[in-house]
Every structure is written in C-alpha cells, then in structure tokens.
Structure 1
Amino acid sequence: MAGEDLIEIKFRLADGTDIGPTKHTPATTVASLKEKILAQWPQDKENGPKTIHDVKLINAGKILENNRTLAECRLPVGELPGAVITMLVVLRLPVTSKNSDKLQNDAPKTSRCLCSIL
C-alpha cells in the first residue's frame, strides 16, 4: 500500500500562489523538496531563488532543516488522512556586499526639516 504512505504537499509562495500539490514519500528530504521548488518556480516571478540555500520551508511555524526527512518533520496533531499539507516558502534576501554599503555611506547627506508648526 505504498500509495497510502505518500504525503501530499503544496508550497505557498509569499504572494499567495501555490506550487503543487505533489506527493512525496516520508523518506523525502527537505533538501530534495527545495530542489523541486527550484525546478517548478514560476518563470514570471522576479527575484527567484538560485540555490536551495535561498529557500526556507516552514511547516506549522517551524523552519525545516535540509537534512531532515518528511517523516521527521511531520506534526501528528491536526493532520487528517488524505489531507494536503501546505508549507510556506520564504526566500532569503541576498546579502549586500560591503562595496555597495560603502557607496551608500559615501553619498552626500542632505538635511531636511521634518517639523510641523501648527
């Protein structure tokens, strides 16, 4: 009964769109889920992830670690047989380089009055 052991998951992006649902075995790792997200990322979206390290998966308020399997990450409370699990996909912002920070700091500062006199 391998079909009954499959876990159905959909991935919710920050703008509310979904990838999936797709079925996975309990032995599937979080890293392989992230690879699947990269492969199925909508092409019309800007600033898509480049590697699996750019993606965080959140299930029931917990960030999932790449080396864990779905069986290790599942929370038995609230799961219904045959239900679809929705995982939130969060992108990590790229770290700005020190050169671009220096350019911003070298920019001339202008003084502005933000007072309101009534």
Structure 2
Amino acid sequence: MAGQDSIEVKFRLFDCSDIGPSKYSPTTTVSALKEKILAQWPKDKENGPRTINDLKLINAGKVLENNKTLAESRLPLELPGGVITMHVVVRPPLSDKNNDKLQNDSPNNTRCSCAIL
C-alpha cells in the first residue's frame, strides 16, 4: 500500500479503548474491516462479538454497510497526517424466543397492583 493511497483508521470500542490505528486501502470492504476487528478484539473484554454480524461500524454518524468499500463509504480520503476514528458497536446477543415465551407464561410474572383507599 502506498502512503498516499492508504487510509489510516482506528476503531473506538464502547469503553473508549482503541484498536489500531492501521492503514487500509480505499478498496478494503467494511466486512474485511470487521474481520480485522474480530481478530484483534481484546480477550479480556466481556460480551465480545462472535461474528461480523454482531458488529456495526459508525463513521460520522453513518452506519457503514458490509458490502461497501472505504472509498464507497465516502470517507475523507485526504486527511494530512490524520486518523479516521470509527466507532464500533456490538449488538447484544439475540435472546431465544422459546425462553422468552416461557418467561412470559410463568405465573411469577411481576404485575402492577394498585390499591385505592
């Protein structure tokens, strides 16, 4: 990767720690970035992502699509000496619908009760 053709990106995690910065080609896809994040995810963090589908990358308030490249995502390509910071959001694990139904059907559900005196 040539210095002028690369984009320097760091990934900001939910606890304000960072992965990177690293340089990427403008033709790098968002899904490839997510793969790199998964590979470099700190092992000491709880509730880490399992797949790239558990991750969202946000840049300038925009959620980036997996099939788009960095160039297609309209990142600023010319930041002299600058690093682009992307925010990483981890989706919470989806709950099991059967377990939710069992919890909703249980007689111990918390209910609101009012007494008018």
Deviation at 1:37, TM superposition (A): 0.1
**Structure 1 residues 23 and 76: CA distance shift in structure 2, 3 A:** closer
Describe how 1:1-118 pairs up with structure 2 within 5 A. Answer: 2-76=2-76, 80-107=79-106, 108-110=108-110
Which consecutive residues of structure 2, in runs of 5 or more, have no partner in the other structure? none
Change (3 A) 1:68 1:111: closer
TM-aligned CA deviation for residue 90 of structure 1: 0.4
Where is the helix percentage greater, Structure 1 or Structure 2?
1
Measured on the aligned residues, the alpha-carbon RMSD in Å equals 2.1
Shift of 1:76: 3.7
How many residues are matched?
114
Deviation, structure 1 residue 100: 1.2
Q: CA 1:73–1:106 in structure 2 vs 1: closer, same or farther (change >3 Å)?
A: same
TM-score (norm 1): 0.86
Cα deviation code 1:85-108 (max 9, x no counterpart): 000000112221111102221331
Question: Which structure 1 segments of 5+ residues have no match?
Answer: none
Q: Please report the TM-score for the alignment, with normalisation by the length of structure 2.
A: 0.86
* Structure 1 residues 5 and 101: alpha-carbon distance in aligned structure 2, compared to 1, 3 A threshold: same
Cα separation, 2, equivalents of 1:6 and 1:110: 56
Structure 1 stretches of 4+ with a deviation exceeding 4 A read: 110-115
67 and 110 in structure 1: CA distance in 2 versus 1, 3 angstrom threshold:
closer
CA deviations over 1:33-79 (Å, ceiling 9, x no partner): 000000000000011111111100000000000110011113449x6
